[in-house]
Amino acid sequence: MLLAINIQNSTITLGCFDEAAKLHAVAHIATESRHTADQYACQIESVLRLRGFVPAEMHGAVLCSVVPMLSAVIQEAVEMLCCCEVVNVSSGVKTGLSIQTDNPRALGSDLVCVAVEAAALGRLPALVVDMNTATTFTALNARGVLAGSIIAPGIQIGLDALHEKAAQLPSISLNRKTVRLLGKNTVDAMASGVLHGAASMVDGMIAKCRQQLGDNLTVYLTGTEAPMAAAYMQEKVQRMDDMVLYGLYRIWTKNRK
């Protein structure tokens, strides 16, 4: 089995792949910048065993991170648990991807992973919308070249900002089945503004990217916050959960020894 790890600002996602590239389990742990490698090793072992996997049976591991200070910590934790090679998606790792940005080395490794997966799926041009702490848009042109990206605040960031910066707005939860557009109270109005607002922003960005990349644009929607916005979007998208993990698997196959 291969252990794939996506380190985000709020959540660390783990997935286990077999040799046929089938994803068997997905688990999430909270991102804690002050945790040590020993603490993360304990957490990773616990969630893997909870899902029926033995860390020592992992024959490889691959990770990407948008939290640089945790990359080495998580890598050390995995090496302790699995006693295997760990591929860290960073400069120098083979991806097979052509990147046309000002500084390709500075591109987020999560964006690289979703771009690798989108390019491999072959439906180009493509746009990957990844909704996490930040909402990112990664664009591939008709030749499969990563042409650029967009970074916007995520849903939870917007909600937190309302509560922290506006004195009369409370802290609320978005765990609800539906949110009507016109709220009848402050809580409902906030939920509408955050969820319908995020969905409308994504719809608008997709429309603008289609103008630049072509009418045959394929749009993939992924990320931990994607389910909250998907129901309120009007653009046609393909939901693909854990797209970063699938991209990590492809990158690992290109770099395995």
Give 190-238 pLDDT, tens digit per residue: 999 999 999 999 999 999 999 999 999 999 999 999 999 999 999 999 9
Q: What is the DSSP string of 90-121?
A: STT------B-SS-GGGS-HHHHHHHHHHHHH
Looking only at the bridges linking them, the beta strands covering 126-131 and 23-30 are: unpaired
Whether residue 257 has pLDDT greater than 70: no
Count the neighbouring beta carbons within 10 Å of the beta carbon of residue 90: 14
**Beta strand residue intervals within the chain, DSSP E:** 2-7, 11-17, 23-30, 60-65, 86-88, 126-131, 134-140, 146-153, 218-222, 238-239
Is residue 38 annotated as a catalytic residue, yes or no? no
| First CA to last CA distance, the chain | 15
Out of 110, 188, 215, 242, the active site residue is: 110
Q: Which of 125, 127, 132 is nearest to 110 (CA)?
A: 132
Mean pLDDT of 13-31: 93
Mean pLDDT of 14-31: 93
- At 139-151, the pLDDT tens digits run 999 999 999 999 9
Residue 46 to residues 40, 51, 162, 177, 208, Cα–Cα distance (Å)? 10, 9, 36, 31, 44
Mean pLDDT of the chain: 95
Q: Crossing angle, helix 155-165 and helix 186-213, to 10 degrees?
A: 140
Which residues lie below 8 Å from residue 7, measured CB to CB, with a gap of 6+?
31, 63, 64, 65, 66, 67, 70, 71, 74
8 A C-beta contact, residue 31 and residue 8 = yes
DSSP β-bridge partners for residue 61? 3, 86
What does the pLDDT look like over 89-113, one tens digit per residue? 987 899 999 999 999 999 999 999 9
Hey, which residues does 138 pair with through a beta bridge?
128, 149
Q: Per-residue b/e over 169-185, b at no fewer than 16 CB within 10 Å?
A: beebeeeeeebeeeeee
pTM assigned to the model:
0.94
Residue 107 is encoded by which pair of tokens? Answer: 């591109």
Domains of the chain: 2-88 (3.30.420.40), 104-242 (3.30.420.40)
